[in-house]
Amino acid sequence: MPRARLIAANWKMHKSISEAVAYAQEMRTALPTLPASCDIVLIPSFFAVRPAVEALAGARAWVGAQDLHWEASGAFTGEVSAAMVKDAGAMYVLVGHSERRHGFAETDPIVAKKLGAALGAGLTPILCVGETLSERESGLEDHVVERQLAVAFGDKSAEDARSTVIAYEPVWAIGTGHTAKVSDAVTMHRTIRKWVQERFGSPIAKALRIQYGGSVNPSNAADLLASDEVDGLLVGGASLDLASFLGIARAVVRS
Ligand code: PGA
């Protein structure tokens, strides 16, 4: 059973509610023109989650949130719980995006707690992992990604792993225009799948969807998706423009 490709648009801190809704409505119109084996997820700001969900109601496309807090509720000014994300209608949530890890001091243990909260609420987490440039230059990329996986899944079950999507996003490729070489992305995807296989067994590793993210655009998407190891793309900058994001989604050819 081939894994359906998951093409996600991470809008970061961009787009007003009305811009998000207009995009989602146009996306909805364009969905029939996309390959059937391609799942689309829009990941707007928290405010636009609900309006985007409403704009896509009944369509074969989903909405995610960019982050969440690990506690169920409490005195955490400015934070949003997993239940709130779920209540807004999101199905997916990014966990441990590198901009959270590096810009907001999110440690591996915090990421592990967020992963647990997302799973506990019935959301599908997209767990982001990836090394920095200096870590890659020191040959530490496998070590770093395996450590991120080990901590994130430290207290998780095989069922949890089955419900999780992993995004390999080398930090040096995000927003820089320097996409990873396809061979490097594929090598890391294999490393991730092997780690999951050793920890949770073959069926879960085989079903696991691993996205690549980092300066994906309509020109490089087909090369990345040409590998069976690349189960989708997590797209930042190039997803802000609908035509560009559709160009990326159309690079999905697996049926
Ligand atoms: P980018 O961002 O496509 O702009 O490099 C990817 C991401 O941060 O998920």
pLDDT score of 255: 38
Q: Is 11 a residue whose pLDDT tops 70? A: yes
Instruction: Provide the 10 A C-beta neighbour count for residue 102.
Output: 12
* DSSP letter, residue 4: P
Q: How confident is residue 36, by pLDDT bands cut at 50, 70 and 90?
A: confident
Whose tokens are 């081939």? That residue is 2
Ligand 1 atom closest to the CA of 12, numbered from 1: 8
Indicate the average pLDDT of the chain.
96
Q: 232 CB less than 6 Å from ligand 1? A: no
Q: What's the confidence (pLDDT) of residue 37?
A: 84
Please give the number of the atom of ligand 1 that sits closest to the Cα of 175. 5
pLDDT (mean) for 49-54: 98
74-130 tens-digit pLDDT: 999 999 999 999 999 999 999 999 999 999 999 999 999 999 999 999 999 999 999
Q: How far is the CA of 34 from the centre of ligand 1 (A)?
A: 22
Above 80 in pLDDT, residue 7?
yes
- Report the pLDDT averaged over residues 229-243: 97
Q: How confident is the model at residue 2 (pLDDT cuts 50, 70, 90)?
A: confident
- What predicted TM-score, i.e. pTM, was given to this entire model? 0.97
**Predicted local confidence at residue 253, as pLDDT:** 76
Minimum CA distance residue for ligand 1 atom 3 = 236
* Residue 56: pLDDT over 60: yes
Give 169 Cα–ligand 1 centroid separation in angstroms. Answer: 8
Position in ligand 1 atom list of the atom nearest CA 174? 5
At a CB cut-off of 8 Å and minimum separation 6, what does 3 contact? 207, 208, 209, 231
- What share of the chain has pLDDT > 90, as a percent? 96
